[in-house]
C-alpha cells in the first residue's frame, strides 16, 4: 500500500512537471516567434536606411556638381531615411553592445550629413561600412538569442529537469529500499510469530 501511494504521488508529480514544462515551452515559443518577426522588421529598417542614405547622397552629389536634381525626390528620401532611423531606434535596446554600435554608426552618418561638403564618396563608404558591420553583429546577436531561447525558458527547463532527475532518484531509492527491507521484515515477523507459538 505504501509503495502504491509513493508511486502514485511520484507519477502525479512528474505528470504535473511535464505539463508545466509544456506550457512554458508553448509560451516561450510564441515569444521567440514574435522576436523573429521583430528581427525581420529590424532587417527591413536597416535595408531602407542604407538605400535612403545612398539615394540622398547621390542627389546631393548631383546638386554639388551643378546638375539638375529632383528636390521632391530628395525630400522623399529624407522622409524614408527618418522613418528607417526611427524604426531602428525604437526596436533596439541601447543598453546592449551590438545596438550601441549600430546607433553610433547612425549618429556618425547624421553628423556627416549635417554638412553637405562632408558628404564625399569616401566618407560615406566608411560610415556605410561601419553601419553594415554593426547591423550584422546586431542581427546575429538577436538570432542567437532566438535560437537559444528566452531566459525564463532556459532557467525553467533546467529547474524542471533537475526536479525530474531528483524525483526519479527518490523513487528508485524508495523502490530499492522497499525491495531490500520489506520482505525481510515480513519474514522476521513470521519467524517471531512461530517462536512465540511454539513457546505457548
pLDDT of 192 above 50 = no
Top pLDDT among 182 and 25 is at 25
Sign of CA dihedral 102, 108, 111, 116: negative
Asked if residue 62 lies in contact with residue 30, where contact means CB atoms within 8 angstroms, the answer is: no
Packing angle of the helix pair 2-64, 71-91 (nearest 10 deg): 160
| pLDDT on residue 44 | 92
For residue 104 the three cell numbers come to 553610433
pTM for this predicted structure: 0.61
Top pLDDT among 147 and 38 is at 38
Top pLDDT among 102 and 56 is at 102
| pLDDT on residue 7 | 66
Enumerate long-range contacts of 40-44, CB under 8 Å, 24 or more apart.
41/87, 41/91, 42/87, 42/88, 42/91, 42/92, 42/138, 42/139, 42/142, 43/139
| CATH, domain 2-176, list 1.20.120, 1.20.1300, 3.30.750, 3.40.50 | 1.20.120
Q: What is the pLDDT of residues 102-120, one digit of tens each?
A: 899 888 888 877 776 666 7
Asked if residue 149 lies in contact with residue 104, where contact means CB atoms within 8 angstroms, the answer is: no
Domain ranges for the chain, please list them. Answer: 2-176
For residue 16 the three cell numbers come to 504535473
Of the listed ranges 93-97, 161-165, 189-193, the one predicted with least confidence: 189-193
Asked if residue 101 lies in contact with residue 137, where contact means CB atoms within 8 angstroms, the answer is: yes
The highest-confidence range among 21-35, 132-146, 150-164, by mean pLDDT, is 132-146
Amino acid at each position: 500500500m505504501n509503495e502504491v501511494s509513493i508511486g502514485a504521488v511520484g507519477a502525479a508529480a512528474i505528470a504535473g512537471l511535464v505539463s508545466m514544462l509544456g506550457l512554458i515551452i508553448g509560451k516561450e515559443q510564441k515569444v521567440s516567434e514574435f522576436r523573429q518577426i521583430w528581427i525581420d522588421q529590424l532587417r527591413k529598417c536597416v535595408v531602407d536606411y542604407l538605400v535612403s542614405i545612398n539615394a540622398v547622397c547621390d542627389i546631393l552629389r548631383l546638386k554639388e556638381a551643378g546638375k539638375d536634381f529632383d528636390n521632391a525626390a530628395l525630400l522623399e528620401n529624407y522622409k524614408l531615411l527618418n522613418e528607417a532611423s526611427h524604426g531602428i531606434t525604437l526596436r533596439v535596446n541601447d543598453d546592449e553592445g551590438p545596438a550601441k554600435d549600430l546607433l553610433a554608426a547612425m549618429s556618425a552618418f547624421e553628423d556627416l550629413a549635417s554638412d553637405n561638403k562632408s558628404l564625399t564618396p569616401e566618407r560615406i563608404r566608411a560610415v556605410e561600412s561601419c553601419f553594415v558591420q554593426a547591423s550584422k553583429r546586431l542581427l546575429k546577436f538577436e538570432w542567437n538569442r532566438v535560437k537559444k531561447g528566452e531566459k525564463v525558458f532556459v532557467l525553467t527547463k533546467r529547474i524542471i529537469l533537475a526536479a525530474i532527475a531528483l524525483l526519479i532518484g527518490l523513487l528508485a531509492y524508495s523502490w530499492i529500499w522497499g525491495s531490500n527491507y520489506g520482505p525481510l521484515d515480513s519474514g522476521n515477523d513470521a519467524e517471531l510469530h512461530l517462536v512465540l507459538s511454539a513457546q505457548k
